[in-house]
Amino acid sequence: MKLNINGHETVVEVRGDENLLWVLREELHLKGAKDACLQGECGSCTVLMDGEPVCSCLVLAADAEGAEIVTVEGIGTPDEPHPIQQSLVDHGAAQCGFCTPGIVVSAYHLLETHPSPSEADVREALAGNICRCTGYGAIIRAIGDV
Amino acid sequence: MQIEYPTTVSDAVDVLASWPDATLLSGGTDLMVEVNYRHRRLDQVVALRRIAELAEMDSAWIGAGVTHARLERSPWQGLAEAARTVGSPQIRSVGTIGGNLGTASPAGDTFPFLAAVDAAIVLRSASGVRTLPWDEFFTGPKQNARRPGELIAGVQLPEAVPARQAFAKVGRRSAMVIAIVSACVTRNEDGDVTVALGAVGPTVLRARQAEAMINAERRLTDTMLDEFQRLVADEVQPIDDIRASAAYRRHASGVLARRLLERVW
């Protein structure tokens, strides 16, 4: 099947009921989206599908054909971090870092749709991204300062 | 696994005529949890995301493919407030009202509104259309009246939806929770009140005695409110589970319905 990932058409093999997260990580070696709860609770696998944030673990890979998928790798790179990523660094907003890719994607979607979000908007946008280290304060300040 | 991607309802019901027991896939937010945890294997799948007509919505119709994100911005306050409490942005962006109906959880967040306004569920198959009132559609916990070969097409609302509506839900936090109790109270221009509650019975239910009492009295005194709260608490049929005790749910049902009644009065 064909997938459109970060602007590139990619051909992948799926056997059947794999989720999109598995294809991203194991077939395409895009390890930014994390494999954690597999039930849509934690948000660490968040990607954009046709511009909307989704948990890639809850997308049947075969149903993603024809959709435009953007992963954290399509938002910024270590050499050219997106301003959201730079702001997270500047605010010391990552500790273990496991949730960070999902948070970057959720924040990217927020800022695409609400360029000047209130703190309440930021908190709402991150309601589906769980961070067990930071207590969220630095993350919310970082996104507010982008 | 075989998968079909129909783009019209007509094509979808044709596929279902030959695959009557196929798994219907909409947003996937319920289904894929079962697949990921190997509680369910997919054999034949009909993917519904590409059917534009399922995503149609007008003043009396909500297509099964309308997402919770769109319902958040819908004109029905009792439904918009409910949709806003579903999961997280990631869940609301793909999860649909049709999927919510298909899962038929007793705690489905959109159901108190549907019950409170007496909505009907429209099912399509190759042999025709069935329109079921909400209380015939829901048949038990995670059970509904959809037959093999049928597709949930959408929700038909009555011509006159009560103007005043309010929804509230009790849970541990405001996002990502399954309701411990949810409730929707409406009041129309004639002053008639309806009260529906979720997560406190095998299906969403109406508190008919409480409705009858307040609709006969048409006054809102402290005594009336106390009686209304007591009747609601009497009528619900909650169970003990991991999220709350039956006793807590019974108490919270009365309190929630009372607050919502004050809000729509």
Judge whether A124 is closer than 8 Å to chain B, CB to CB: yes
Tell me the pLDDT tens digit for each residue of B101-136.
999 999 999 999 999 999 999 999 999 999 999 999
Q: pLDDT grade, residue B173 (50/70/90)?
A: confident
Last residue of some domain: A53, A74, A95?
Answer: A74
- For residue A107, pLDDT over 90 is answered with yes
* Average pLDDT of every residue of chain A: 96
Q: Can you give the CATH number for the domain in which B248 is found?
A: 3.30.390.50
Judge whether A54 is closer than 8 Å to chain B, CB to CB: yes
Task: Kindly state whether residue B206 falls inside one of the protein's structural domains.
Answer: yes
**Per-residue model confidence (pLDDT) at position B54:** 98
**Per-residue model confidence (pLDDT) at position B27:** 97
The rounded distance, in Å, linking the Cα atoms of B170 and B162 is: 23
Task: Kindly state whether residue B230 falls inside one of the protein's structural domains.
Answer: yes
Q: Can you give the CATH number for the domain in which A96 is found?
A: 1.10.150.120
Total structural domains within chain A: 2
Q: Cα–Cα distances in Å, from B137 out to A32, A125, B82, B143?
A: 42, 34, 20, 9
Span A31-43, mean pLDDT? 97
Q: Can you give the CATH number for the domain in which A14 is found?
A: 3.10.20.30
Give, in degrees to the nearest 5, the angle at Cα B215 between B209 and B218. Answer: 135
- For residue B47, pLDDT over 90 is answered with yes
ipTM above 0.90, yes or no: yes
**Per-residue model confidence (pLDDT) at position B174:** 81
State the helix-helix crossing angle for A100-113 and A137-144, rounded to 10 degrees: 40
Q: Are residues A104 and A65 in the same domain?
A: no
Number of Cβ pairs < 8 A linking chain A and chain B: 95
* Average pLDDT of every residue of chain B: 97
Q: Which candidate in B88, B94, B176 is best for mutational testing of the A interface (most A CBs within 10 A)?
A: B88
Last residue of some domain: A46, A74, A102?
Answer: A74
Tell me the pLDDT tens digit for each residue of A40-79.
999 999 999 999 999 999 999 999 999 999 999 999 999 9
Which residues of chain B have a Cβ shorter than 8 Å from any chain A Cβ?
1, 3, 5, 25, 27-29, 31-33, 35-37, 41-42, 45, 47, 49-50, 69, 87-91, 93-94, 174-176
Q: pLDDT grade, residue A15 (50/70/90)?
A: confident
**Per-residue model confidence (pLDDT) at position B175:** 83
The rounded distance, in Å, linking the Cα atoms of A139 and B19 is: 48
Give the residue numbers spanning the domain of A47.
Answer: 2-74
Total structural domains within chain B: 1
Query: Which three-class secondary structure state does DSSP give residue A48?
Result: strand
Contact B32 A65 (CB under 8 A): no
Span B96-102, mean pLDDT? 98
- Taking CA–CA distances from A18, the nearest residue in chain B reads B36
Q: Which two tokens stand for residue B258?
A: 């009372």
Contact A85, A145 (CB under 8 A): no
DSSP state of B156: E
The partner residues of B24 in beta bridges, in order of sequence, read: B46
Picking from A38, A46, A60, the nearest residue to B28 by CB comes out as: A60
**Per-residue model confidence (pLDDT) at position B176:** 85
Q: Which residues of A touch B32 (CB under 8 A)?
A: 19, 40, 57-60
**Per-residue model confidence (pLDDT) at position B26:** 98
